[in-house]
Amino acid sequence: MTEPVIRIAEAADGPALAALRRAWTAEQHGAVDDAEFEARFLDWYEREFARRISWLAEVDGAAVGMMNLAIFARMPQPGRDVGTWGYLANAFVLKAHRDRGIGSLLLRALLDHADGQRYVRVVLRPSQRAIPFYQRLGFAADHDLFVRHRPG
Ligand SMILES: CC(C)(COP(=O)(O)OP(=O)(O)OC[C@H]1O[C@@H](n2cnc3c(N)ncnc32)[C@H](O)[C@@H]1OP(=O)(O)O)[C@@H](O)C(=O)NCCC(=O)NCCS
C-alpha cells in the first residue's frame, strides 16, 4: 500500500469529508437514509471554514481519515498576549485503514500546526478506547473544566 498523504483540507474537500462522516455514522448506526445530509454538511463546512481547520488523510488519492481543530481566539488583554487555543474534534479513520498509524499522522500534523502557531492548549474529549492514542502524543486528563448538560 502507498504511504498516506496528510494535508489541510480546502474548501473543495467538503464532499470527501461528508463521505467520511457518513461512513462513520454507518459504522456506528448502520446505513442511514438521509438524502439531505450532504447539503447540510456542506453548509456547515462552509460556515465553519473560517474558524476550523480540517486535516485529511488520503491513500492512493482517496480520503480515508480526518480530524479537525476549532480555533478559539481569546479576548485580547492590554499588555499581554493571551493567545489562542483549539478544540480537537471528529477524529476518524476508515475501519479498513485503522491501526496503521494514519490517525497518529493526522494528530501529529494538527499538533505541529498548533505548536507552530503557539496555541496555548489543545482540548478534546476522548472515547475510552482512544485514550492511549492521545496520551502517546502528550495529552493528559485535566479536571478543571465545568460542564452543564442540557436538562431533561
Ligand atoms: C481514533 C482513530 C482516529 C485512530 O486512528 P488510527 O489510524 O487507527 O490510529 P493509529 O494507528 O495511529 O493508532 C491506533 C490507536 O488508536 C486507538 N484506537 C484503535 N481503535 C480505535 C477505535 N475503534 N476507537 C477509538 N480509538 C481506537 C488505540 O489507542 C490504538 O492504539 P492501541 O491499540 O495501541 O491502544 C480511529 O481508531 C477511529 O477512527 N476510531 C473510531 C472513531 C472514534 O472513536 N473517534 C473519536 C476518538 S476520540
- Which atom of ligand 1 sits closest to the CA of residue 92? 39
pLDDT digits (tens, 9 = 90+) for 49-61: 999 999 999 999 9
In Å, how far are 75, 83, 84, 119 from 79, measured between CA atoms? Answer: 12, 12, 16, 18
- Which atom of ligand 1 sits closest to the CA of residue 102? 7
> Pocket around ligand 1: residues whose beta carbon is below 6 Å from it?
91-93, 98-104, 126-127, 129-130, 132-133
pLDDT digits (tens, 9 = 90+) for 80-98: 999 999 999 999 999 999 9
Domain segments of the chain as ranges:
5-135
Closest C-alpha to ligand 1, atom 17: 130
Q: Assign 134 a pLDDT band (cuts: 50, 70, 90).
A: very high
The hierarchical CATH code for the domain 5-135 is 3.40.630.30
